[in-house]
């Protein structure tokens, strides 16, 4: 599956979680999937907990997160001594 196909699984709806990115229009936010993975849940456990969820949805969340972080820029803070 191409990156474009994966990203098409990530949608936005102002009526769901205030417009945060969600998976295929469902009430499951990308941030929730990422949080559960970060907490140690496995993709298999997520697929079991959400029967409608597909492995490609999890991959789409990871790709989306990578793309958001790739655009992030951090400017060094310059401290001036008094």
28-70: pLDDT as tens digits = 999 999 999 999 999 999 999 999 999 999 999 999 999 999 8
pTM: 0.83
Confidence of residue 82 (pLDDT cuts 50, 70, 90): low
Whether residue 80 lies inside any domain: the answer is no
pLDDT in tens, 1-11: 899 999 999 99
Q: Which residue range is the domain that position 25 belongs to?
A: 3-67
Q: Which residues contact 24 (CB under 8 A, 6 or more apart)?
A: 9, 11, 57
Instruction: Give the total number of structural domains in the chain.
Output: 1
Whether residue 58 lies inside any domain: the answer is yes
Whether residue 8 lies inside any domain: the answer is yes
Whether residue 20 lies inside any domain: the answer is yes
Which parts of the chain are beta strand (E)? 10-12, 21-23
Whether residue 37 lies inside any domain: the answer is yes
CATH code of 23's domain: 1.10.10.10
């Amino acid at each position: 599956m191409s990156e474009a196909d994966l990203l098409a699984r990530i949608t936005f709806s102002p009526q769901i979680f205030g417009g945060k990115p969600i998976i295929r229009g469902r009430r499951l936010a990308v941030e929730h999937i990422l949080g559960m993975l970060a907490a140690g849940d496995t993709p298999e456990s997520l697929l079991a907990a959400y029967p409608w969820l597909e492995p490609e949805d999890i991959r789409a969340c990871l790709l989306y997160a990578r793309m958001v972080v790739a655009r992030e820029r951090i400017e060094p803070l310059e401290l001036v001594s008094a």
